[in-house]
Structure 1
Amino acid sequence: MITEHALLDVLPGSEQDFEWAFGEARELISASPGFHGLELLRCLETPSRYLLLVRWDSVEAHEVGFRQGPSYERWSSLLHRFYSPFPVVSHFESALSTSSSVV
C-alpha cells in the first residue's frame, strides 16, 4: 500500500466552497479501484492550506486507474479551480510506523 500526499493551497476565502466540493468529489475517488481511504486535514496556521492523504494499492491505482479513469474529469472540474498554485503530488511507502495506546 502507498500513500499519496498533496499539499493543497486553496484561494483564500474559498475554503468553505472547497470543503463542500471536496465532499462531493470524495464519492468519486472512493469508488476507484485500489482506493483504501483518505484524510483531508486543514492547516491551523494557514487556514487556506490543506493536506490530502490518500491510501492506494499502488501508484498505478492512483495515476492510471483514477487519473485516467472516467471519474477524474468530474473530480478536476469540482476541485482544480480552487488551487493556487496547482498542488504537487508525491507518493510514499511505509519506512517505519508506531502507534501508541492509552491505558
Structure 2
Amino acid sequence: MILEAVILHVKPDLQSDFEATFKKASKIISSMDGYLSHELHKCIEVQYKYLLLVRWETLESHTVGFRNSAEFQEWKKLLHHFYEPSPIIEHFEEIEI
C-alpha cells in the first residue's frame, strides 16, 4: 500500500466552494483502478491549508494509472483552480516497527 500525502493551500475565501467541489471530485478518484481510500483534513493552525491522504495499491496506480487518465483531467478541471501555490505531493510506504 502506498500513501499519497498532498498539502493543499486553497485561495482565500474559496474554502466552502472547494469543499463542496471536492465532494463531487471524490467520486472520480474513488473509481480508479488501484484506489483504496482517501480522506481530506482541514488544518487547525493555518487557515486555508488542507491535507489530502490517498491510499493506493501501488505507486503506479497513482503516478501512471490516475495521472495519465481522462479522469485526472476532469479532477484537475474541477479542483486545480482553487490552489495557490501548486500542491505538494509526496508518496510514503509503511515500515514495520
TM-score by length of structure 2 reads 0.96
Structure 1 stretches of 4+ moved >4 Å: none
% identity of equivalent residues: 43
What one-letter code is carried by the residue in structure 2 that aligns with 1:57?
A: E
SS at structure 1 position matched to 2:52: strand
Question: Which residues of 2 match residues 1-103 of structure 1 at below 5 A?
Answer: 1-96=1-96
- Root-mean-square deviation (CA, aligned residues, Å) is 1.0
Indicate the residue corresponding to 1:101 in structure 2: none
CA distance in 2, matches of 1:88, 1:68: 19
Q: Which ranges in structure 1 are unaligned for 5 or more consecutive residues?
A: 98-103
Choose 1 or 2 for highest CA Rg: 1
Paired residues, number: 97
What one-letter code is carried by the residue in structure 2 that aligns with 1:43?
A: C
Q: Which ranges in structure 2 are unaligned for 5 or more consecutive residues?
A: none
1:47 CA displacement? 2.9
Give CA deviations for 1:43-74 in whole Å, capped at 9, x if unaligned. Answer: 01123100000000111000111110120111
SS at structure 1 position matched to 2:80: helix
